Structure 1
Amino acid sequence: MTENTSRVAIVTGGSRGIGRETAARLGKDHFDVVVVYGGGRAEAEEAVREVELAGGRAIAVQADVSDEQSVSALFDAAEKEFGGIDVVVHAAGIMKLSPLADLDLAVLDEHLKVNVRGTFVVDQQAARRLRNGGAIINFSSSLTLLARPGYSAYAATKGAVNAISLILARELRGRDITVNAVAPGPTATSLFLDGKPQELIDRIAAEPPLERLGQPEDLAELVAFLAGPGRWINGQTIYANGGSAA
């Protein structure tokens, strides 16, 4: 175990997109970061280097967020390397699109396993192991309000994330641990961009008053606030979408 006085964060989905940008942003605040990845070891190692360049220390750990033994081992690795855990950012998730009437129910089951069960599993370990004064930050989606056709499975799972986050915040009374959900709007990551024609991307980007897509750093700044000075924000779903209307 490393002697450590820094705060320690676990970031699931930390090898790509918003999770990766968040890991680097926490590094800038001198967090020690556990970059959690599903399959892309090379990307995770790149994310580790970005955290280190920003000013923090980091390791990469592979885990299946829907598997309780895998997640328990992840938390063990974080505690062994850095001595404890203060912040958990749960950014891992999947999104596959289909009209509800045409949705393969196996795809629905996959969404429920990764996005809902994964949140339960990660939050369960976080609730058991976070040091007092910590923060749990789950990722929801503005699609719970924007209600775009084709997103029923994904949006349904993110509605569950909102409920989990609020209830867990109340269950942790007396621990000085905040629990919030961040609900991004359309953000320029591969999760959003892949498979969409440019015309559709341009149309969605023009919708908010700021007339652009969100960038991963927009969300990373919000997470850093919730992980640090934003101690009076608790049990909330924060819609970070540039003003897109429901």
Structure 2
Amino acid sequence: MRLKDKVVLVTGASGGIGFSVSELFAREGAIVVATDITAPPSPYPAGIESMHLDVTSESEWKSVVSDIVKKHDRIDVLVNNAGIIAYEPLHELQMKEWLQMIAVDQTGVFLGMREVIPVMRKQRRGSIINISSIWGSAAVAGAHSYHAAKGAVRNMSKNAAMTYVADGIRVNSVHPGFIHTALTDAQAPELNEVVIASTPMRRGGQPIEVAYGCLFLASDESSYVTGTELVIDGGYLAQ
């Protein structure tokens, strides 16, 4: 019960990392509000509340946060997980594609923090976990907009950590490597094979392996951890 009675808001929770985070946190005693624009393919376990949230929408963020506070009187943990991925190189990137990536992967994180931080400041405590990527710290050819957004999440997290440390709010980013999810399963197999072959452990990770890292950052066990990057990548960035 490492998160007993903590109120947690998770975005992008209908599958992959978000679903695993929601499920694990609930098992550890949290009151989990799982949000997404779609319902999960299989029902959430008992005890997890579900709400619709388009992370690019200011009005939906305000409504969701307001509803959670009205019902539970607090938000202890925010996991900004919702995201998309694309692989266009800069010279082929269309404005529509650029704006969509930034809206979901970067602006969604900004809106989430902006709505939740005032709640946490009143509480004088809170943990924000922003899901970035190894591509937020290193680069491969192509995927220009994804690199831009995930790199921004990395530094946005550090900025918020320093800005609100006196309010008792901790902000950290998590940087997964290749993780087996519906998102990566839909990619070209040869693309996945290249990344896995470049990973020292020679395998992809599982969502639950990222969820356990998030559990540490959400719990009071990480009370002296803020502004850091937790890399969960099978050794990729250590090369």
Q: TM-score, normalised by structure 1?
A: 0.89
C-alpha RMSD of matched pairs (Å): 1.6
1:135 match: 127
3-state DSSP class of the match of 2:32? strand
Instruction: Deviation per CA, 1:104-123: give whole Å up to 9, x if none.
Output: 12100111111121111000
Aligned to 2:151: 159
Tell me, yes or no, if structure 1 residue 194 matches structure 2 residue 197. Answer: no
Residue identity in the other structure for 1:225: F
Contact 2:126 2:170 in 1 (8 A): yes
State how far apart, in whole Å, the 1-side matches of 2:234 and 2:187 are.
Answer: 23
Aligned partners of 2:136 and 2:152 also within 8 Å:
no
Distance change in 2, residues 1:154/1:223 (3 Å): same
2:170 to 178, 181, 185: 178
Count of residue correspondences: 232
Cα distance, 1:200–1:44 mapped onto 2, change above 3 Å? closer
Instruction: Pick one of 69, 84, 88 that aligns with 1:79.
Output: 69
Cα 1:173–1:20, aligned 2, differ >3 Å: closer, same or farther? same
Which string of whole-angstrom CA distances, capped at 9 and with x for unpartnered residues, describes residues 48-97 of structure 1?
Answer: x2xx3xxxx22111011122111011111212332311000000011122
Q: Helix, strand or coil: the match of 1:46? A: coil
The residue aligned with 2:140 is 148
The corresponding residue for 2:214 is 223
Superimposed CA distance per residue, residues 156-198 of structure 1 (whole angstroms, 9 cap, x where no aligned partner): 001111111011111113221110010111111122221312x
User: What stretches of structure 1 move > 4 A for 4+ residues in a row?
Assistant: none
Is the contact made by 1:44 and 1:60 (CA closer than 8 Å) also made in structure 2? no
Q: Contact conserved, 1:7 with 1:85, CA < 8 A, in 2?
A: yes
TM-score (norm 2): 0.91
Secondary structure in structure 2 of the residue aligned to 1:211: coil
1:46 is matched with which residue? 43
Query: CA contact under 8 A between 1:37 and 1:44: conserved in structure 2?
Result: no
2-structure distance, mates of 1:220, 1:90: 13
Which ranges of structure 2 fall in alignment gaps of 5 or more residues?
Answer: none
Match of 2:106 among 106, 109, 116: 116
| Structure 1 counterpart of 2:227 | 235
CA-CA distance at 1:45 after TM superposition: 7.0
Partner of residue 103, structure 1 = 93
CA distance in 2 between partners of 1:144 and 1:65 (Å): 20
Specify which of 57, 65, 80 is matched with residue 55 of structure 2: 65
Q: Is the CA contact (8 Å cut-off) linking 1:86 and 1:132 kept in structure 2?
A: no
Mean alpha-carbon deviation: is it higher for 166-175 or for 29-38?
Answer: 166-175
Distance (Å, rounded) in 1 between the aligned partners of 2:95 and 2:201: 37
Counterpart of 1:222, as a letter, is G
Q: Secondary structure at the match of 1:64?
A: coil
Task: Please say if residues 129 and 171 of structure 2, whose CA atoms lie closer than 8 Å, have aligned partners that are also in contact.
Answer: yes
State the partner residue of 1:16: 15
The answer on whether the counterparts of 1:35 and 1:44 sit within 8 Å (CA) in structure 2 is: no
Query: SS at the partner of 2:171?
Result: strand
Contact 1:36 1:44 in 2 (8 A): no
Note closer, same or farther for the CA distance 1:14–1:183 as it changes in structure 2 (3 Å cut): same
What is the deviation of 1:44?
7.4
